[in-house]
Amino acid sequence: MGKKYGVCGLCFHSPGCGVTISFDEENRIDRLEPDPDAPLGRILCPIADSVREVVYSDKRLKHPLKRVGPKGTHEFEQISWDEAFETIVDQLNELREKYGPETVGIYAGTGSYERSFKDIYQLKGSEIYLASSVLFPFGSPNTFGVGAPCYTSLGVLAPKLTMGCRHIDMFSDVDNADLILVWGTDPSTSTPPEMFERLKTASEEGAEIIVIDPRKTMATELEGSEWIKIRPGTDGALALGLAHILIRDNLYDEEFVEEWTVGFDDFSEYVKDFFPEQVSRITGISESKIEVLAESIVDAEGATYLMYTGLEYTKSGVQNIRAVMVLWALAGQLDVEGGRCFLRRENSFPLPRSKQIETPGLDKSIGKDKFPVYSRFCGGEPHASLLPKSIIDGDPYKIRSLIVLGASLLTSWPNPRVWRKALCELDFMVSIDLQLTADAAYADIVLPSTTGFEQESYCYYGNALRLREKIIDPVEESMPPYDILAELAKRLGYGDLYPQNKAELLDYILSESGYTVEDLMKAERHVLRGPRAEMVYRKWETGLLRADGQPGFETPSCKFEIKSNILEEYGYSGIPRYEESDETPISNPEVFKKYPLVFGTGPFKPDMKSCLRAIPSFIEKYPYPVVEMNESDAEDRGVKRGDLVSIRTARGAVRMRAFVTDKIMKGFVYAPVGGGGPLGPDEWKEANVNLLTDLEQFDEISGFPVYKTLLCQITKKKRKRKGIAVQDPSLGCVG
């Protein structure tokens, strides 16, 4: 029994919450508590309570496996690591020889986000770290990542195109803002959970909080908050309508527009159509509310926003986010105290890039022509949405082998039927994960990975770097994903390109910091801190945003691009145009007649991307998946809370229980992603929400699926399913 300071290793979404770890008599991890003196440790998310169950779960993969049953059956037998690696290397080499290296691909998901993995395997030239370069030296450009359906629109594309920086180069000054818009995100379920605490403090100190969302999230319960219900997917129209008012009433920052922007005239012409009456019709928000909101944003002594996926998953997701960014700049709330601010580059702990590897060739990178902006900012990463076409139809050529790491294609992407067909067609597949996934049923080899507690690495907090100490030995034969790929690279003949052990890794990662590994080991809690230059606002005026030190923005025009040069170069609209998605009550009234509810889906946060599905305390709390629906929609259908219902779209049907609530807009229903895997209760296993979504509806810039604005109908299930009927012989002939 004892305690130790460390870093939580349960998720890799957070930079790594600092924790105090308690151990039991057998030195097993028992409990986590916050460590307020760590860089990020004031509060832990609820998942931390399940640490013991997750780390020592009997459902964890403990040994390498090879498939012995037919594809789709999850029938495996244990093999050694040596046999597993030999099989993989032999298969990859054989496929390269027969069909070319590009026919081998890898897809990395959230389970692989550990920091050293992100930095070392990041594709050279990429602004994001959600794919792995490990097959580049092999000759394949086909390294796919979960950035194709998530985060890249907000995190990279919209800010790069508009301001020449990434989302993580900025921050929302919640601590000083008088007005905070919580727009299309729910910070109460975010990981790490710190932001909601800061939001609470802001509300206690008098900040006004406006939540723009079809769902009444926890932020609406904070003191001084207001819920503005918006028709799902119309956020871009609202942002343009607010900009219209600023321009109409001369409330915008004229000096900024004159000196520092391009495209204002075209933009003002375009937003003429977004007058309050029209925007009210589109969004469902009253004209007066729209007028007041515009004034509030301009008048606030510091207005900022928190924003996320709510705006990404429509036909014009990237442009919606750009519209909000333009609105903020026009309102004079960009890089001012309490606004949406740029970080000072000097304050980032310097991380080296020299080991990052470049794509072996864009010509064979799948999707570079269909999603050229994505490809440009993601180091030539191909777009995963095109994988099924490649595997099944050979378009533009056949991918024949896939390594799926920390991800489940079958449950996270629209249309699992087509993905299943694709996985069936593969000549060879590897699944690397903490536990069995739906995809693993089609894998020839399954490899067990570790949690973050079982590996040595580091965490990165912007201006600080912390050692991630190994807290326990890997459970059974599991291995950290970083090490699995490093070993694979070694066996493929190019291990020298990636640090192969902790000493090499830390030496490399500190190589441009002025610190040594010894400094790291000696530092309090093994935390090294970078420089802290004081805050300067309106950085474009003093050359603090550009690498060459000149005033302006790091964009092609060196200005804030209301009209994006890069978008125009690739044939897209340069100004942030709003588009209705293809399947909404307005764009498709015929489908709306049959499917009269707007359907949205997204992660089920308590579940950490389905990692907890087999954890007893999770099952106790969430024994089945629920679809949230408004009381009046439920009443119209004779549905009560807990009833089994069928959710049907033009693609298929899924059963869930109804969660009847007044915390969701009338006409909108929300069902979580994450069901459909092989673990947990049957009701979860059977509820793959992506049977309802559509691979053919996407944002043309990012390629992101439209997850938030589809149409569905909900009906109460009349009888509970009993499974396959078996004739009872005692009844004789019942014909």
* Three state DSSP letters for 117-165: HHHHCCECCECCCCCCHHHCCCCCCCEEECCCCCCHHHHHHHHHHHHCC
Residues 6+ apart with CB under 8 A from 19: 5, 6, 7, 8, 32, 33, 34, 35, 38, 41, 44, 48
Residue 45 touches ligand SF4, criterion: CB under 6 A? yes
Q: State the minimum distance, in angstroms, from the CB of residue 20 to ligand SF4.
A: 12
H-helix or E-strand containing 293? Answer: helix 287-299
Q: Cα dihedral angle (356, 360, 365, 369), rounded to 10 degrees?
A: 90
What's the distance, CA 120 to chain centroid? 20
Query: What single letter denotes the amino acid at residue 624?
Result: Y
Q: Are 300 and 178 in contact (CB under 8 A)?
A: yes
Is the CB of 111 or the CB of 382 nearer to ligand SF4?
A: 111
Closest to ligand SF4 by CB, 39 vs 233, is 39
> 165-169 long-range contacts, Cβ below 8 Å, gap at least 24?
165/342, 165/545, 165/553, 165/554, 166/127, 166/128, 168/462, 169/342, 169/343, 169/345
Looking at beta carbons only, is 8 or 445 nearer to ligand SF4?
A: 8
Distance CA 521, CA 561 (A): 45
Mark the segment that binds ligand SF4 (CB under 6 A) among 13-21, 120-128, 395-403, 474-482. 13-21
Are 513 and 528 in contact by the 8 Å Cβ rule? The answer is yes
The correct pick among 29, 38, 48, 459 for binding ligand SF4 (CB under 6 A) is 48
Q: Provide, rounded to whole angstroms, the least separation between the CB of residue 40 and ligand SF4.
A: 8
User: Residue 625 — φ and ψ, nearest 5°?
Assistant: -80, 145
**Token pair for 710:** 């589809």
Q: List the interface residues with ligand SF4, window 563-602 (CB under 6 A).
A: none
Question: Which CB sits closer to ligand SF4, 15 or 556?
Answer: 15
| Least distance to ligand SF4, CB of residue 16, Å | 6
Please name which of 137, 265, 233, 72 lies closest in space to residue 599, comparing C-alpha atoms: 233
Q: How far is CA 372 from each of CA 142, 369, 378, rounded to the nearest angstrom? A: 15, 5, 10
Which residues within the stretch 208-227 sit at the binding site for ligand SF4 (CB under 6 A)?
A: none
Check residue 14 for interaction with ligand SF4 (CB under 6 A).
yes
Of 91 and 449, nearer to ligand SF4 (C-beta) is 449
Under the binding rule (CB under 6 A), the answer on residue 701 touching ligand SF4 is no
Q: Does 451 contact ligand SF4 by CB under 6 A? A: no
**Facing residues of 460 across strands?**
465
Count of residues touching ligand SF4 (by CB under 6 A): 12
Compute the distance between CA of residue 619 and CA of residue 639 in angstroms, rounded to an integer: 24
Report the residue number, 17 or 679, with the smaller CB distance to ligand SF4.
Answer: 17
Q: Is 541 exposed, middle or buried (0-12, 13-18, 19+ CB in 10 A)?
A: middle
- Rule CB under 6 A: is residue 11 a binding residue for ligand SF4? yes
The answer to the question of residue 21 lying near ligand SF4 (CB under 6 A) is no
Integer Cα distance of 486 and 491 in angstroms: 9
Residue of the chain from 191, 375, 431, 688 that contacts ligand SF4 (CB under 6 A):
191
Among 21, 38, 47, 199, binds ligand SF4 (CB under 6 A): 47
Report if residue 8 touches ligand SF4, rule: CB under 6 A: yes
Least distance from C-beta 656 to ligand SF4, angstroms? Answer: 25
**Smallest distance from the beta carbon of 608 to ligand SF4, in angstroms?**
7
Return the range that interacts with ligand SF4 (CB under 6 A); candidates 42-50, 261-269, 396-404, 676-684. 42-50
Smallest gap from residue 43 Cβ to ligand SF4 (A) = 8
**Nearer residue to ligand SF4 within complex by CB, 14 or 630:** 14
Rounded Cα distance, 419 and 417, in Å: 5
Nearer to ligand SF4, 192 or 236 (CB): 192
Subset of residues 109 to 128 that bind ligand SF4, contact rule: CB under 6 A: none
Distance CA 359, CA 601 (A): 34
C-alpha torsion 682→685→686→692, nearest 10: 150
* Contact region with ligand SF4 (CB under 6 A), list: 44-52, 132-140, 233-241, 493-501: 44-52
Q: Which amino acid is at 537?
A: Y
Between residues 50 and 142, which has the closer beta carbon with respect to ligand SF4? 50
Pick between residue 39 and residue 338 the one whose CB is nearest to ligand SF4: 39
**What distance in Å separates the CA atoms of residue 393 and residue 500, rounded to the nearest whole number?**
38
DSSP H or E segment with residue 289: helix 287-299
192 binds ligand SF4 (CB under 6 A): yes
Give least dist CB 41 to ligand SF4, A. Answer: 9
Here the tokens at position 487 are 């070993």
Q: Provide, rounded to whole angstroms, the least separation between the CB of residue 48 and ligand SF4.
A: 4
Give the shortest CB-192-to-ligand SF4 separation in angstroms: 4
Does position 137 bind ligand SF4 by CB under 6 A?
A: no
**Quick one: which segment of 11-19, 55-63, 239-247, 577-585 binds ligand SF4 (CB under 6 A)?**
11-19
CB of 17 to ligand SF4, least distance (A): 3
Candidates 10-18, 279-287, 330-338, 726-734: pick the segment binding ligand SF4 (CB under 6 A): 10-18
Q: Counting contacts by CB under 6 A, is residue 615 touching ligand SF4? A: no
Among 651, 714, 722, smallest CA distance to 688 is for: 651
For residue 662, the minimal CB distance to ligand SF4 (Å) is: 29
Q: Tell me the CA distances in angstroms from 725 to 188, 721, 722, 729, one per residue in order.
A: 45, 10, 7, 12
Buried b (16+ CB within 10 A) or exposed e, 142-179: bbbbbbbbbbbbbbbbbbbbbbbbbbebbebbbebbbb
CB of 519 to ligand SF4, least distance (A): 25
Contact status: 610 vs ligand SF4 (CB under 6 A):
no
Residue 15: cis peptide before it, omega within 30 degrees of 0: no
| 6, 10, 479, 560: residue in contact with ligand SF4 (rule CB under 6 A) | 10
Q: Least separation, in Å, of the C-beta of 44 and ligand SF4?
A: 4
Distance, in Å, from the CA atom of 168 to the CA atom of 342, rounded to the nearest integer, reads 9
Positions touching ligand SF4 (CB under 6 A) are 8, 10-11, 14, 16-17, 44-45, 47-48, 191-192
